Amino acid sequence: MRTAIHPPNAAKPLAPYTPAIQSGGTLYLSGQIAIDSEGNLHTADIATETRKVMENVGTLLKAAGLGYEHLVKVTIFMSDMAHYAAVNEVYGTYFTEMPPAREAVAVKGLPRGVNVEISGIAVG
């Protein structure tokens, strides 16, 4: 059984995908960028952008009855590895113990020209 997770206060998908799908005790999060529910990008600087991405991840987790501590695997996509330290600084504030397994990679391009996209898997 699969359940679509798409809270009304979440950003609208930019393409044909579901923001998150819960199957059994596992939540699969589509890549989140720094966009709000009104379609505005929050890309003033890499810290602001990363914070908004993590807030969007949190919105989906909360809608599924979960929190950041339930994330077991995360993928961080960046437009440039020069953002790595700044992204880590913000990202790390969301985890007090045992951050999830993850990879962080630089890619040629991201939707809407953003610098950070984060996807994940959470288990409740």
CATH code, domain carrying 39: 3.30.1330.40
| Residue 118 counted as domain residue | no
Q: What pLDDT is attached to residue 101?
A: 98
Q: Distance (Å, rounded) from C-alpha 117 to C-alpha 60? A: 14
Domain that holds residue 93: 2-109
Amino acid at 24: G
124: its two tokens: 């409740």
Does residue 122 fall inside a structural domain? no
**How wide is the angle at C-alpha 116 spanned by C-alphas 25 and 2, nearest 5°?**
20
Low-confidence ranges of the chain (pLDDT < 70): none
pLDDT at 12: 84
For position 95, what pLDDT does the model report? 96
- Could you tell me if residue 93 is inside a domain? yes
pLDDT of the residue at 13: 87
Predicted model pTM: 0.96
Domain count, the chain: 1
Query: Is residue 95 a part of any domain in this protein?
Result: yes
pLDDT at position 108 is: 96
Tokens of 64: 């599924």
| pLDDT score recorded for residue 11 | 86
Q: What is the largest CA-CA distance in the chain?
A: 41
